[in-house]
Amino acid sequence: MNDCLFCKIIAGDIPSGRVYEDERIYAFKDINPQAPVHVLIVPKTHLSGLDGLEEAEDRLLASLLRAAHTIAAREGVETSGYRLISNCGPDACQSVKHLHFHLLGGKQLSEEMD
Ligand code: AMP
Ligand code: ZN
């Protein structure tokens, strides 16, 4: 998608701190980290968000979750723990309309979920 920030990052048109990449997935450091480890995990194909998923994306979704665990291990938070969040829609403050998961860790995260 031409005007999508994350599509531009995936294409290399905007620089990013890459931490993981495979054929279908790209992951990079969040520019405004909310925890010592804050990685964004995105599919290389443009999907708007959790609300844009169809059954055809089931395997991709599973791969994203599996990649999250690999990234957590690489970032050294596999044992200490981490949180995976995907904001969907206005109430969740989704600001980039390209499906992404936030992987947060490296500190004791709040029990609050909002
Ligand atoms: P969300 O609010 O869930 O849509 O998350 C979008 C995330 O993208 C935010 O946490 C931003 O800090 C992050 N972000 C925005 N621009 C960039 C960028 N150029 N590189 C890395 N992360 C970014
Ligand atoms: Zn996109």
Residues with Cβ within 5 Å of ion ligand 2?
1, 4, 6-7, 46, 98
**Mean pLDDT of the chain, nearest integer:** 96
Q: Where are the domains of the chain?
A: 5-105
CA of 94 from ligand 1 middle (Å) equals: 9
Among all ligands shown, which has an atom nearest to the Cα of 101?
Answer: 1
User: In whole angstroms, what separates CA 78 from the centre of its chain?
Assistant: 16
Q: Which fold has domain 5-105?
A: HIT family, subunit A (3.30.428)
Note the pLDDT of residue 106: 98
Show Cβ contacts of residue 67 under 8 Å, excluding neighbours closer than 6 positions.
Answer: 20, 22, 25, 27, 41
Higher pLDDT residue, 109 or 55? 109
Global pTM? 0.97
Residues with CB under 6 A from ligand 1: 5, 14, 16, 30-32, 40, 87, 93-96
DSSP assignment string, 68-107: HHHHHHHTT-TTT-EEEE---SGGGT--S-S--EEEEESS
Beta-bridged to residue 22, according to DSSP, are none
Q: Each residue of 29-84: pLDDT tens digit?
A: 999 999 999 999 999 999 999 998 999 899 999 999 999 999 999 999 999 999 99
Whether pLDDT at 1 is above 80: no
Question: Rounded distance, CA 109 to CA 97, Å?
Answer: 25
